[in-house]
Structure 1
Amino acid sequence: MFWILLAVIAVIVLATLVLFRVQNLSQYDGQSWRIHEVTPAPSHQEVLERIRDMGRSSKGLKGKARLMALRNHLDSLGATLDIKSQIRAVDCPKGEWVIAPGADSRRRVLYIHGGAWAAGSPRSHRAITDRFSQLANAAVFAVDYRLMPEHRFMEGLEDCRQAYRWLLENGPDGQQSAEFMVVAGDSAGGSHTLSLLAWIRDNGLRQADAAIALSPSTDLTLRAPSNRENIPTDPLLGPVFGGLSKIPLPILWWGTLAAFRISPTNPVASPLLGNLHNLPPTLIHASTSEMLLDNAARYAAKAQAADSPVTLHTWQNMVHVWHIFTPLLAEADQAFEDIKTFLDTLQKTDT
């Protein structure tokens, strides 16, 4: 019996080494990035209370009931917003246009929402898409991609790819070629954003003119230092995912493979692990206190080493994707101004 158990363990270890060929990315740690200093304000406490409300909305629930409660709570964030943009629903590809007054429909933003690939929607992220339409002077298409676990991870990503193809030739008023294209997303949607850029390059499509990733997930192998070190300082992701730090990484990788039906070392799911050469100008935002900080930093550093114009701007002690708390947080407004400056600079360079 002992020898059988030993043989099984050996097979599992060998399979892990063969299937999950992880790269040592520590050489991309330690680079200095622009930091926006933040002074504590009462609004920060209000944001923390809102995050606690999200936790309370699913307290005591399990499984599907817990997930549905979380989805409903996130959607409620966008239900009462006073937004300036016009909202137009689209059936195929599924999503919605968010169009600020006077926005140029030839300028387009594909927005991919976050929510751990299992929650979130165009409705939940209207605070962000409304601001994007204003600052980019563009029509924003928020894609309503298929979520896990009802659908496979790759099905959601395929929805994003289809939406990008469609946006190149279609605007809110019908068929019309895009003059300026941006791909943007947050958290899980930030991962889809960065993955999409590599797919566009590799498939010979017209590349986006710019990309923006807010607190993106870039590496599902979870080996970056902040994935564990920042658990106590991340009020949003820490309580939800912090417990995973007690599980050995190889076991987490097998669990990810089972849940996502794709290896966490596959660049489609972990864009940091792919080829980062010849990417468009990309701006990444992250908080110094969030678990995904080093995922973002490693991506930016590796992309720069591959001569791609990718940069990271960080804010002190902000919650994960603090942008969604506009206009409550002054730092959210600062972040949007930073995005506007980034896009405006690109256009001045082009002209």
Structure 2
Amino acid sequence: MLWIFLAIVVLLVVATFLIFRVQDLSHFDGNEWAVNEVTPHPAHDEVLSRLKEMGRASKGLKGKARLAAVRQHFDRLGAEAEIESELRPCTLPKGEWVIAPGVNTQRRVLYIHGGAWSVGSPTSHRAVTNRFSQVANAAVFAVDYRLMPEHRFMDGIIDCREAYTWLLHHGPEGESEAEFMVVAGDSAGGSHTLSLIAWLRDSGLRQADAAVALSPSTDLTLTAPSNRDNIRSDAMLGPIFGGLSKVPLPVIWWGTLAAFRLSPTNPVASPLRGNLANLPPTLIHASTTEMLLDNASRYAAKAKAEGSPVELHTWQNMVHVWQIFTPLLPQAEEAFEDIARFLERVEARSD
């Protein structure tokens, strides 16, 4: 029986190597990026309190009940946000227009919300899309893409692609050509953002004028050091995903393949592992203490090495996707001011 067990182990090891072929990208570590120093502020404690409240909302629940509770909590936070923008629902493609007063609606932003591809909605991220409309002087379309586990991962990808191509020719008032296009997203939506701009390049469609990714997931192989080193310092993702540090990476890869129906090395799910040449100007934000820090820094380093214009700006000790806590958190406002300056630079270079 021992030889049968050993044969199975050998077959699994060989199959893992042949199927996943995880390339070592550690040579992209160690780059120095712009760091925004942060002075402690009372709002930081309020943010941490809200994160604990999210954990309590699903405490004791399992499966579908837990997922439903987390989704409801996320949406409630967004619904309670004080915004100035007009909201217009859209059914095809499914989503929500967010239009700040006086903006140019021929300037458009496709916003792709985060939430681990299973949580979040246009409602949950209204604080973000409201500010994005203001700083970009644009109409924002928050796409309500299909979520896992009810739908396949690729269903969400398809929804984002279709929403972008629709936005090129449609605004809040109907058919009209877009003058300026931005793709933006956070966390899982940041992954979709980076995947989308690569797909646009390969498809020969009109590329976005700029992209913005907030604390993006870029690599589902979880091989970057911060995925494990920053578990304790990441107040949002640490409690949720920290347990994965005890699971061998090959087991995680097989689990990802089963859940996503894609290899974790597939660039559609892990944009870092694709071709990063000839991409539009891209701004990435990340916190120095979040688990996805090295995912962001590796993407920025690889994109720059392949000739694409990318900027990575980091903030000290911020929670994952701290921008969602605008206007409560001063650093969230700083982040949107940084986005405004980035878009101004992009337009200045294109003139």
Q: Scaled by the length of structure 1, what TM-score is found?
A: 0.99
Q: Tell me whether 339-348 or 51-60 shows the greater mean CA deviation.
A: 339-348
Number of the residue aligned with 1:131: 131
Following superposition of structure 1 onto structure 2, how do residues 83-232 of structure 1 map, counting pairs within 5 Å? Answer: 83-232=83-232
- CA deviation map 1:156-209 (0-9, x unaligned): 110000000100111011111101000000000000000001000000000000
- CA deviation map 1:14-44 (0-9, x unaligned): 1100000111111100000000000111110
What amino acid sits opposite 1:209 in the alignment? Answer: D
1:306 aligns with 2:306: yes
For structure 1, the residue ranges without an aligned partner over 5 or more in a row are: none
Number of the residue aligned with 2:247: 247
What amino acid sits opposite 2:39 in the alignment? Answer: T
Structure 1 residue ranges, 4+ long, deviating more than 2 angstroms after superposition: none
Number of the residue aligned with 1:256: 256
- CA deviation map 1:57-109 (0-9, x unaligned): 00000011000000000000111122110000000110000000111111000
Distance 1:32 1:336 in 2: 22
Number of the residue aligned with 1:274: 274
Distance 2:194 2:80 in 1: 30
Number of the residue aligned with 2:19: 19
What amino acid sits opposite 1:214 in the alignment? Answer: L
Q: Number of residue pairs matched?
A: 351
- CA deviation map 1:116-152 (0-9, x unaligned): 0000000000000000000000000000000000000
Structure 1 residue 11: Cα displacement: 1.1
Number of the residue aligned with 1:285: 285
Distance 2:10 2:93 in 1: 47
Secondary structure in 1 aligned to 2:81?
coil
Number of the residue aligned with 2:78: 78
What amino acid sits opposite 1:76 in the alignment? Answer: R
Q: Superposition RMSD on alpha carbons, in Å?
A: 0.5
Secondary structure in 2 aligned to 1:151?
coil
Distance 1:56 1:259 in 2: 26
- CA deviation map 1:258-317 (0-9, x unaligned): 111111000000000000000000000000000000000000000000010011000000
For structure 2, the residue ranges without an aligned partner over 5 or more in a row are: none
Distance 2:54 2:266 in 1: 32
